[in-house]
Structure 1
Amino acid sequence: MNELGYDPVKLGVDEARSKTERISSRLLEMIEVKGKVTEPGPGVSRCEGESGDSELYKTLHPWSVYGISDESVERGMNNLRKRLPESGWTILKDGKVNSEARDPEILAENKKEYFAVHIVGEKRTASGEPMISVEVVSACFRAPKGTLKGQY
């Protein structure tokens, strides 16, 4: 076994980006709150820690639902608490962010899909506008030999 503790699945970068977008879309459906959603798609970065393995990478997709009320933040977080486990996710943390605002946060993983998610229901943001912030990150994938160059 390598230092990751698992053998990375072989997956092309475009396929991994598409899979990450599908995971994000399913999470948005689970939140079930009407609002605006930030646009940027998933990014790719090399996996740290693997000595000299240039084919390992992960995807990262930060996005948020904004233009919503405090009540929508509460409803969206409650929807996630119920729907994540029903959809194959294991909730690792369901509590409050260690900050002055003490916003609710959920950390979950889906081992079958090779993804984790960190979700924060922000009621008091810098802009004063409530939002649900979502950060989807994949496990490390192995790109087909020679295809990762220039992809991140």
Structure 2
Amino acid sequence: MALNVMLGDEELRRRFRACGLRLTPQRAAIYRALVATTSHPTAETLYASVRRTYPNLSQNTVYYTLSALRRAGLVQEVNFGHDGARFDGNVTPHHHLICTACHRIEDVMDERLDRLSLAAPVTKRFEVRRHRVEFYGFCERCRRKQQGTGGRR
């Protein structure tokens, strides 16, 4: 899990309080683990990670906490179709690169993508609230692996 951001105790309390969520040590650990990574983990991956610190943590607590955090707008649930729901602690507008070989997901921050707009006839029929752009292909690691095998798959 790559480092994304570190949250201080006061900032964590502020975020939870602003959303009306009760802050428990387990919830704090789950949220911190999620915002500290850019890997878009599954609930199961988060459970395994946080359980190292909280051995009595139940998988149910992780699912319930992720659901509460999602409803509060503190995390995003994303689904790219290959392995179910994943979670993203980055709730700022961004897009994704998805490797079709290893399913690695990377964030893309590009203002040009944020400014995408639809033609006027479409926007008269449909009010766009948000959008997400996904690019599918091969990550650098999988491309190198493929080149090392002569491109055979």
Alignment TM-score, normalising by the size of structure 2: 0.28
Alignment TM-score, normalising by the size of structure 1: 0.28
Higher radius of gyration, 1 or 2: 2
Of Structure 1 and Structure 2, which has the larger fraction of its residues in strand?
A: 1
